[in-house]
Structure 1
Amino acid sequence: MTTPYTLGRQGSIILVWNGTRVDLQDVVDFHAQQEIHVQRANPLNKPPIEFNTPAGWRGSFTLDRANAALDTLFNEDELAFWNTNTISSGVLYCYIEENDGSTSKFEYSGVTLAFTNAGKFDANSIVSQSVTFFASQRRAI
């Protein structure tokens, strides 16, 4: 029996950083939410008017560390900044296998990353790493 709802395991992400695919093994969660800028007018002669304009996307993902991919990425970015004043960016792709057999595909462009958790090493635990991101835009592809 198939579920009529989307399960987390039906989604996957791919990160392309400076034109190179980053080997993100064992991503265990992904979260994204739209940012908005609230526009508001308060006319004297009628009720207030409010609407939202898009202001990018913010999110996060966590992976169970299976390789040095994230450590290498952030190390190289930091060195590039200090050595050449280079600010790196990338593209994040999200794929969702829909229950009807189709696949929804989204591209997050103009991505910047922050390594919010490089990992806690404990003798009997899997090392998890967390990244937050900001994307200028999301579009269906």
Structure 2
Amino acid sequence: MATTYTLGRQGSIILIWNGSRIDIQDVTDFTTHQEIQTQRVFPLNKPPVEFNTPAGWRGTFTIDRGNSALDTIFNDDELAFWNSNTISSGVLYCYIQESDGSTSKFEYSGLTLSFSNAGRFTAESVVSQTVSFFASQRRAI
């Protein structure tokens, strides 16, 4: 029996950084939420009015480290900044297999990354790494 609910394993992400696809193996967690800017108006002749304007998207993803891809990205970006004041950017794509067989596709553009957790190395344990991101915009593709 097929479920009508989305399971985490029905989602996948692809990272394009500085124009190159990055091999981020074994993504184990992906979280995202919309940022908003709350606007308020206080007219003299009626109650206050509040509305929200879009202010980007923020999120994280976690991988079980299978290669040095993330370490290389952050190493190269840091060197580029200190050597030539270059700030890197990218695009993140999220694909979700829907229960009706279709695929929802989202593009997160204007992407910036930070290495929230570069890994904890202990004997007999898988090393997990976490990246936080901000995207200026998300759009369905």
- TM-score, normalised to structure 1's length? 0.99
Q: 2:131 — aligned with what?
A: 131
Three-state SS of the structure 2 residue aligned to 1:77 is helix
Q: Moved runs in structure 1, 4+ residues, more than 6 A?
A: none
Structure 1 residue 113, shift from structure 2 partner: 0.1
1:8 maps onto 2:5 in alignment: no
Paired position in structure 2 for 1:100:
100
In the alignment, structure 1 residue 115 sits paired with structure 2 residue 115: yes
Q: How well do the aligned residues superpose, as a CA RMSD in angstroms? A: 0.4
List gaps (5 residues or longer) in structure 2: none
- Distance in 2 (CA, whole Å) between partners of 1:125 and 1:45 is 64
SS at 1:106's partner residue?
A: strand
Q: Distance in 2 between matches of 1:19 and 1:52?
A: 33
Q: Quote the Cα distance in structure 1 between the aligned partners of 2:84 and 2:122.
A: 36
- Give the aligned partner of residue 21 of structure 1: 21
Alpha-carbon distance in structure 2 between the residues aligned to 1:104 and 1:10: 10
1:33 and 1:89 mapped to 2: Cα distance? 19
In the other structure, the counterpart of 1:88 is 88
Q: How far apart, CA to CA, are the structure 2 residues paired with 1:19 and 1:33?
A: 25
Given residue 100 of structure 1, which amino acid in structure 2 is its aligned partner?
D
Give the length in aligned residue pairs. 141
Match of 1:35 in 2: 35
Distance 1:132 1:2 in 2: 33
Counterpart amino acid of residue 35 in structure 2: E
Q: What are the Cα deviations for residues 56-91 of structure 1, in whole angstroms up to 9, with x where unaligned?
A: 000000000000000000000000000010000000
Q: Which residue of the partner structure matches residue 47 of structure 1?
A: 47
Residues 79-118 of structure 1, C-alpha deviation per residue, up to 9 Å, x if partnerless? Answer: 0000010000000000000000000000000000000100
Q: What is the Cα deviation at residue 2 of structure 1?
A: 1.1
CA distance in 2 between counterparts of 1:134 and 1:121 reads 27
Whether 1:66 aligns to 2:48 is no
TM-score, structure 2 as length reference: 0.99
Identity of counterpart residues, as a percentage? 77
